[in-house]
Amino acid sequence: MCIDYITDRGPVRAIDHVSLDLERGEFLGVAGESGSGKSTLAQGIMRILPPPAVITGGEAIFEGRDILTLDEEELRKLRWSRMSMVFQSAMDALNPVITIGEQITDTMHAHGDMSARAARDRAAELLEMVGIPGDRLDAYAHQLSGGMRQRVGIAIALALEPTLLILDEPTTALDVIVEREILEEIRGLQRKLGFAVIFITHDLARMLQFSDRVAVFYAGRMAEIGPAEELRTSPRHPYTQGLLRAFPSVHGSTVEMFSIPGTPPSLRNPPAGCRFHPRCPVAVELCSKVSPELKQIGPGHSAACHLAK
């Protein structure tokens, strides 16, 4: 898939020939620094990209159909019922003047016939599922903590039993303990209910603990994708290696902290060759001239680096 932002100063390619496949019931983590294109990709898959973004090529196959070729009516049927999404801002997007129960039942009524009683019972069940007592149905958003509000967003996203749930940094604004609890809950629900997850985050280390597979993005391209365990123990792309070292590691009584020098490039004018080369500690001459293809280096494991084996 390719996605451009059409600006006054010309197009900015935020997603550059990215191809992703997802198994039924799989938990895929998508990691990368701010601006690497993660949200653009998620909104592209959902076909909810606001202008000036334009999908300029590729395909996105979901349940055998290319989402990019569907018309608005077909998309409307698919969204929320087959694939749904939770944003970082979901907790602030709840309506302040209607109860959370009504907000969940509204989603159900908008997409199908259900009696008021059945919808209310199901809403209570959904709340329980995401760790909120079912008797909080009549609460208003302001009566809940940030973590609780984000859980309501997840309950709404799960209301119609989608087969794909996309989560775009849903826990970034929350403290680490609440974040961990919510992640564990999503993982548990996903295992129990069998839906697939695309979880977007800037926190690679956290994603490696929770995902089946992880895709690492850099400047609009996929740098590496592979089984989480393998990326954790033997990352092959220097960017993945750098991101993993960018989190504190404890050695005896000392904590080492490393950060990748430099900043990600502007996508308006990205570096030639490998986009990571100005920051790469092992770059060779070829790197500034030729862009590395994503190549397979092991079962289900690929990296876009000239030196990766």
Q: Could you list the residues that contact ligand SF4 (CB under 6 A)? A: 237-238, 274, 276-277, 280, 282-283, 287, 292, 305-307
Could you tell me if 54 and 44 are in contact, meaning their C-beta atoms sit under 8 angstroms apart? no
Q: What's the closest the beta carbon of residue 3 comes to ligand SF4, in angstroms?
A: 22
**Nearest distance in Å: CB 79, ligand ATP:** 19
Binding partner of 202, given ligand ATP, ligand SF4, none, CB within 5-8 angstroms per partner class = ligand ATP
Among ligand ATP, ligand SF4, none, the one that 44 touches (CB under a kind-dependent 5 to 8 A) is none
Which is closer to ligand ATP, CB of 39 or CB of 105? 39
Q: Nearer to ligand ATP by C-beta: 132 or 166?
A: 166
Tell me if the bond preceding 281 is cis, omega within 30° of 0: no
Identify which of residues 56 and 234 has a Cβ nearer to ligand SF4 in the complex: 234
Nearest CA to 42 out of 157, 159, 194, 169 is that of 169
- For ligand ATP, give the closer residue by CB, 14 or 85: 14
| Binding site residues, ligand ATP, CB under 6 A | 5, 7, 12, 14, 32, 34-40, 52, 202, 267
Q: For residues 10 and 161, give the distance between their C-alpha atoms in angstroms, rounded to a whole number.
A: 41
Given a contact cutoff of 8 angstroms between Cβ atoms, the answer to whether 54 and 3 are in contact is yes
Q: Which is nearer to ligand SF4, 151 or 279 (CB)?
A: 279
Three-state SS string across 8-72, please? CCEEEEEECCCCCCCCCCCEEEEECCCCCCHHHHHHHHHCCCCCCEEEEECCCEECCEEHHHCCH
Tell me how far apart the alpha carbons of residues 84 and 292 are, in angstroms, rounded to a whole number: 33
